[in-house]
Structure 1
Amino acid sequence: MIKRTLFFGNPAYLSTRNEQLVVNFLEEDKKEATIPIEDLGYVVLEDPQITITNGLIMKLVQNKTAIITCDKQHLPCSLLQPLVGHSEQTERMRYQLNASLPLKKNLWQQTISAKIYNQALHLESRGKNAIKLKRWSSDVKSGDTGNLEAIAAAHYFQNLFSEVNNFSRNQKGVPPNNLLNYGYAILRAVVARALVSSGLLPSVGIFHRNKYNAFCLADDVMEPYRIYVDAVVYDILETGCNIEELSTKLKTELLLIPALDVYLDDKWSPLMNAVSRTTSSLYDCFLGANRKVLYPEFNRSRLSE
């Protein structure tokens, strides 16, 4: 079942009753609304005047619903997840923590190869040249010692957004960087949620290891999935709408990313479900039961349906 994403951009009082999320708005003309908690995958809280009860937080966490809060710039800044996400969590974390350096280098090689190949497929779907990216995707070495990820990213973004003046991928850069930042933050939450559900530590990465980053493994695993954010942002640009400010309309489109259809292991499934299959396959690699991480292959044919 596809889990719903709820976005709250106005003041509201959120509580629970009869296993439902109950929304009471401050505006007198708005009626109380209820949503079954079991249907929810993500709840995004943007307005600083939102009040949420501890009883609701408890039920959302027990349902493995990711609670995402936003900062003053309206960007996701925190993620609330359960302390226990899997019945075998301790054993699974032990395998993760004991992973050898050669294994981690191989997993990173697979991850970057899949990322670059998806970048190539995305450029091709837009009628742009992708010969270099396809070649680089097969040239990635163990641990990506040649840093092809960075080389490919610079080439990819330069060609993808070639119509945008002075564009370069930078968190504080010109639009559509603001849309990419928001979309990647949502994607990061999706991946972190899946990792916890698979009994893994989102903070212990296979490549990323910044001591100030609590989501190193999420940042690793999300790399081949970034392409879906890029595709949504590109589609938004093609409409010609104003992207200088992150309007509610733009956020609504980006919040649909978890439900996008993606192609993984010869099957179509919602992105949030595909990510769960990826994190499960990653655990199998840590366990030694498998050597390949399942990553999606970009296909734009069903993204706009």
Structure 2
Amino acid sequence: MIKRTLFFATPAYLSTKNEQLVVNYSDGQAEKRVPIEDIGMVIMEHQQITITNALLEKLVANKAAVISCNAQHLPVSLLLPLDGHTELNERLRYQLNASKPLMKNLWQQTIEAKIQNQAALLAERGLPNQRLLHLANSVQSGDTRNNEAQAAAYYWQHLFEDFDFTRGQKGTPPNNLLNYGYAILRAIVARALIASGLLPAIGIFHRNKYNAYCLADDIMEPYRPYVDLIVCSLVDSQDDISELTIEIKKELLSVASIDVVIEGKTSPLFVGVSRTTNALFECFAGISRKMLYPHYG
């Protein structure tokens, strides 16, 4: 079942009663309730939101991701459970003892899937993609030739060809939309990793000592084109994308429920990511050597 994403952009008091999240608004709106078992993610954007510790405890126990935003309305923190799986200790040992050849192979599969999905999105939009197809088919173990970077340069040049676009955290729009969408995707992946008994800080490729979500940044790579798809739609339909309006954020949040196809089976992205993280554990444990990533298109 697809879990719900709750987005709070106005002052509210969030508490719990009878295993439900209870919302009371300061402006007199009627009280609202949502079963906690139905919640996958809670995003608190407004600075005047109060949440009780009892509710946080229940959300974490339900493996829901709780995201806080700063005064600029951008995600800045993510609350996740410390023990997301009953076999946590054993699963962490498999992860920490993974061999370098396995890590390189996992990264190769990850980059192949990412570039293939980028190529599919370009094709869907009627844009040339032969260069990406060639790069996807020639990724080596560990991506030693850096096909990912070569693909990114081509991809961004063509995806927003009507813009003088350069992809960057602080670049011009639609970078603001991409950054927000990727932050939500990262939270979804981090939640799934914890639920699979894996440590998000220990990546298969990313190793920045200041990054607590290296593995999430690895695993989300093939899923990025689904955020890109939503951003393309917003660019096509919106006259002004310079500001992240509530309507635009709601569209970006819909990435959790967008359909993805993994091994011929269609499911919401929120569910598909869990299949991917479970496959990752099986690779660490020696049960399998194949990652399960979505196939775009």
Quickly name the TM-score band, shorter chain normalised: over 0.9
Q: In 2, Cα distance between the equivalents of 1:177 and 1:72?
A: 19
1:302 maps to none
Q: In 2, Cα distance between the equivalents of 1:57 and 1:151?
A: 43
Mark the runs of 5 or more structure 1 residues left unpaired by the alignment: 300-305
Amino acid at match of 1:23: V
Q: In 2, Cα distance between the equivalents of 1:202 and 1:294?
A: 18
2:277 maps to 279
Q: In 1, Cα distance between the equivalents of 2:76 and 2:96?
A: 26
1:52 maps to 51
1:211 maps to 209
Q: Is it true that 1:91 corresponds to 2:90 in the alignment? A: yes
1:296 maps to 294
Out of 198, 221, 224, the position equivalent to 1:223 is 221
Q: Secondary structure of 1:139's match?
A: coil
Q: In 2, Cα distance between the equivalents of 1:2 and 1:284?
A: 23
List aligned pairs for 1:135-284, cutoff 5 A: 135-164=134-163, 166-284=164-282
Q: Is it true that 1:69 corresponds to 2:63 in the alignment? A: no
Q: In 2, Cα distance between the equivalents of 1:7 and 1:91?
A: 35
Q: Secondary structure of 2:260's match?
A: strand
Q: Secondary structure of 2:137's match?
A: helix
Q: Secondary structure of 1:132's match?
A: helix
Q: Over residues 148-176 of structure 1, what are the superposed CA-to-partner deviations in whole Å (9 max), with x where a residue is unaligned?
A: 11110011011000011x21111111101
Q: In 1, Cα distance between the equivalents of 2:212 and 2:227?
A: 22
2:24 maps to 24
Amino acid at match of 1:246: L
Q: In 1, Cα distance between the equivalents of 2:239 and 2:226?
A: 20
- TM-score normalised to structure 2 length: 0.99
Q: In 1, Cα distance between the equivalents of 2:115 and 2:274?
A: 21
2:119 maps to 120
Mark the runs of 5 or more structure 2 residues left unpaired by the alignment: none
2:3 maps to 3
Amino acid at match of 2:31: E
Q: In 2, Cα distance between the equivalents of 1:158 and 1:199?
A: 38
1:79 maps to 78
Q: Over residues 234-279 of structure 1, what are the superposed CA-to-partner deviations in whole Å (9 max), with x where a residue is unaligned?
A: 0111113321100000001111111111111111000011000000
Q: Over residues 76-126 of structure 1, what are the superposed CA-to-partner deviations in whole Å (9 max), with x where a residue is unaligned?
A: 111101111001010000000000111101100110011001100110000
Q: In 1, Cα distance between the equivalents of 2:187 and 2:225?
A: 16
Q: In 1, Cα distance between the equivalents of 2:207 and 2:260?
A: 28
In terms of mean alpha carbon deviation, does 235-244 or 75-84 score higher?
A: 235-244
Q: In 1, Cα distance between the equivalents of 2:18 and 2:289?
A: 45
Equivalent pairs counted in the alignment come to 297
**Identical aligned pairs, as a percentage?**
61
Amino acid at match of 1:171: Q
Q: In 1, Cα distance between the equivalents of 2:78 and 2:120?
A: 31
Instruction: Please state how far the C-alpha of 1:73 moved relative to its aligned partner.
Output: 2.0
Q: In 1, Cα distance between the equivalents of 2:246 and 2:111?
A: 33
